[in-house]
Amino acid sequence: MKLKICGMKYNPLEVAALRPDYLGFIFWESSSRYFDGEIPFLSPSIKKVGVFVDASIAYITETVKKYGLNGVQLHGKESPSYCKRLKGKELGSDVEIIKVFSIKKDFDFSDLKEYEKVSDYFLFDTKGKLPGGNGYTFDWSVLKAYPSTKPYFLSGGIGLDNLNDIKEFLKRPESKYCYAVDVNSKFEDKPGLKNIENLEEFKKVLGT
């Protein structure tokens, strides 16, 4: 199981020392975790993901080049054709495309079909007032209806308080294609400042 820690801002080097698989940097100006600094040198084993919300393709390509991003997480209403442009000519095949879908009580999984060939991963988050970082989990049993074989990230309000729930989920059939767990707001002392001790405990128990 992979681990992605999102919302990097104030202490990315301390977080990187925990050796997560992915670090997420938010490039959406309305976010309290908006990143506009310099990314320090990170181990090549850690993939840097830029999080965008309905951004222009020019802005994404420019940001990917500026920061040497390994992945792009699309957290808005980006269309399949938009993703295809990024996946093909704009970014090339080396940059991973993670398309986010927000879930509340239920979800129409037929919406995924057009994104199958134009993204590398799906990410399922909790539908809230903001695109991510809302601190609430959705009902993971919804994923029993997951029709795809594409690996996905499980996100949305995941913290130390539901470690047992995650362990149980990972034993169930619907977790077969769960590729990574994505954490953010439940591991912060303030937006963008991660609590290293809690992250270390989570990573240890999760076994990533």
Residues of the chain short of pLDDT 70, as ranges, are 128-135, 208
Structure tokens at 35: 């990143």
Q: Which amino acid is at 47?
A: K
Residue listed under structure tokens 């077969």: 176
Check residue 90 and give its pLDDT.
80
Give the pLDDT of residue 145.
Answer: 94
Instruction: Quick: pLDDT tens for 61-86.
Output: 999 999 999 999 999 999 999 999 99
Q: Which domains does the chain have, with CATH numbers?
A: 2-206 (3.20.20.70)
The answer to whether the CB of 45 falls within 8 A of the CB of 18 is no
Q: For residue range 11-42, what is the model confidence (pLDDT) as tens digits? A: 999 999 999 999 999 999 999 999 999 999 99
> What value, to the nearest 5°, has the Cα angle with vertex 17 and ends 15 and 23?
45
Closest CA to 98 of 189, 12, 24: 24
β-bridge pairing 152-154 and 193-194: unpaired
pTM, 2 dp: 0.93
**CA separation (Å) from 161 to 137, 164, 166?**
11, 8, 10
Tell me which DSSP letter residue 87 carries: I
What sign does the CA torsion over 107, 172, 157, 193 have? negative
User: 125 to each of 36, 77, 109, 186, how far by Cα in Å?
Assistant: 24, 14, 14, 14
Distance CA 138, CA 156 (A): 7
Sequence-separated (6 or more) residues with CB below 8 Å from residue 110: none
| Residue type (1 letter), 40 | P
Q: Supply the pLDDT for residue 49.
A: 98
